[in-house]
Amino acid sequence: MKTLRGNAALAAAVALVAGTAEAETTLSVLLDGNADTNAMMEALAAAFTARNPDITLELENRPGGSEGDNVVKTRLATGEAGDIIQYNSGSLFQALNPVSTLADLTDLPAQDNILDSFKSVVTAPDGTVRGIPFGPAMGGGVYYNIPLYEELGLSIPRTWDEFMANNAKVAEAGRVPVATTFGDTWTSQLFVLGDFYNVLAEVPTFAEDYTANRAKFATTPAALRGFEHLQEIFEAGYMNRDFGVATFEDGMRMVATGEAAHYPMLTFAMATVRQNTPEHIDDLGYFALPGPSADRNGLTVWMPAALYIPAASQNIEAARKFLDFVASPEGCRIMIEAVGATGPYLIEGCELPADVPRSVADMLPYFEQDGRTAPALEFLSPIKGPALEQITVEVGSGIRSAAEGAALYDQDVEKQARQLGLPNW
């Protein structure tokens, strides 16, 4: 998915210096603008510099969404990306031309701590590993307000029909069924991308066929369904009136306080609740995006973002030392202490605390039961079109039909597939 952690504003660089010794090396770090991202990196930088007073880190925030993608690609292409970048793993990583633009981290000692499932999504076409995980794995599903569910006597939906029936009851009670926040366009993608577990349950070869140009969203009923869900929610009037300008933080506030019953979102969002409405953190539950079958209901999973070292960095050895620290069990614990537990980390020896929020506890059984999770499409295919978030806004706003949106997205991915040199395109 196009970065689901973005912020529209480019923040000023922040220098973090610990200890009294004068630094000999300053590592520049480019991050998205998410509060969690900054909190984790600030805590890691402070702990690392305390141990290594000759190395400090200077943090800079970039925009989110497609604008942020362009910033990263442009800086890598011009050799101005600095020493460390935080960016997506999976298909967006592949679009960075990693063999040419990113340093090889295959022999980084901390790779021994990192689960193979993550290494696979930061492995370049030449078989080398170019990144380390930063933050937890995430589920793509639906937050719901527990007190509102109890008030209306609702049960957790296992099918889309049950979900829509719950929405109808919420609307009858005068509440917003589905918080919708197209003011941050990246949030519009969840009904499409979060439905991928259900796509694979019906069409197990879709990712392979899609990559080989043998399958399309518009002509595969299971894949088209995510676009249809967007259209259904709009046509039913189940969105908040200000859906066109509401932001991600608005959506999390609405579902946390009970102003809305549901908000489709990735699980990293709990940190926003902890920061903005902590008194409601235990009022949130979580469930996988419902599909057509209750028997095959499961969670679409996003791998963490990654930290990479640009090949043009003048401080590669110092940057490797920092990444080695981040990917250690100690680094993992520092990240959890900074933002709380919002999902499983993919570093051996790093365990989540027992007192995780209810919504995180709701997600963990999906990971613990075989067959109840599936990677998002961008971790099974290198193809991810740049305009999806704009297309899903149009479908979710009634500007374009689901069928039209899916067909347009099929066209959107063609350029990237050709740039990657994929066969049959």
Beta-bridge partners for 57: 16, 27
Q: What average pLDDT does this structure show over 277-291?
A: 96
Domain boundaries, the chain: 14-136+304-350, 138-301+363-419
Q: Is the pLDDT of residue 21 over 80?
A: no
Q: Quick one: how many helices (H) and strands (E) in the chain?
A: 18, 12
What pTM value is reported for the model? 0.77
Distance CA 201, CA 60 (A): 41
Q: Mention the CATH class of domain 14-136+304-350.
A: alpha beta
Q: Do domains 14-136+304-350 and 138-301+363-419 have the same CATH topology?
A: yes
Distance CA 403, CA 71 (A): 32
Q: Is the pLDDT of residue 18 over 50?
A: no
Give residue 271's pLDDT band: very low, low, confident or very high (50, 70, 90). Answer: confident
Model pLDDT, residue 344: 85
Give residue 3's pLDDT band: very low, low, confident or very high (50, 70, 90). Answer: very low
Burial of 82 (C-beta count, 10 Å sphere; 0-12/13-18/19+): buried
Model pLDDT, residue 2: 39
Segment 155-206, tens digit of pLDDT: 999 999 999 999 999 999 999 999 999 999 999 999 999 999 999 999 999 9
Model pLDDT, residue 11: 36
Model pLDDT, residue 23: 58
Segment 90-147, tens digit of pLDDT: 988 998 999 999 999 999 999 999 988 889 899 999 999 999 999 999 999 999 999 9
Segment 344-361, tens digit of pLDDT: 888 988 888 888 889 989
Instruction: Report the percentage of the chain scoring pLDDT > 70.
Output: 95
Cβ contact 310:81 at 8 Å: yes
Model pLDDT, residue 8: 34
Cβ contact 117:60 at 8 Å: no
- Alpha-carbon Rg for the chain, nearest whole angstrom, is 21
Distance CA 191, CA 338 (A): 30
Q: What average pLDDT does this structure show over 232-261?
A: 98
Q: What average pLDDT does this structure show over 380-387?
A: 89
Distance CA 349, CA 346 (A): 9
Model pLDDT, residue 115: 87
Q: What average pLDDT does this structure show over 272-285?
A: 93
Q: 155 phi and psi, to 5 degrees?
A: -110, 155
Q: Is the pLDDT of residue 31 over 60?
A: yes
Model pLDDT, residue 22: 53
Pick the CATH number of 138-301+363-419 from 3.40.50.300, 3.30.230.10, 3.40.190.10, 3.20.10.10: 3.40.190.10
Segment 47-84, tens digit of pLDDT: 999 999 999 999 999 988 778 899 999 999 999 999 99
Q: Is the pLDDT of residue 17 over 60?
A: no
Segment 317-376, tens digit of pLDDT: 999 999 999 999 999 999 999 988 888 888 988 888 888 889 989 998 888 788 899 999
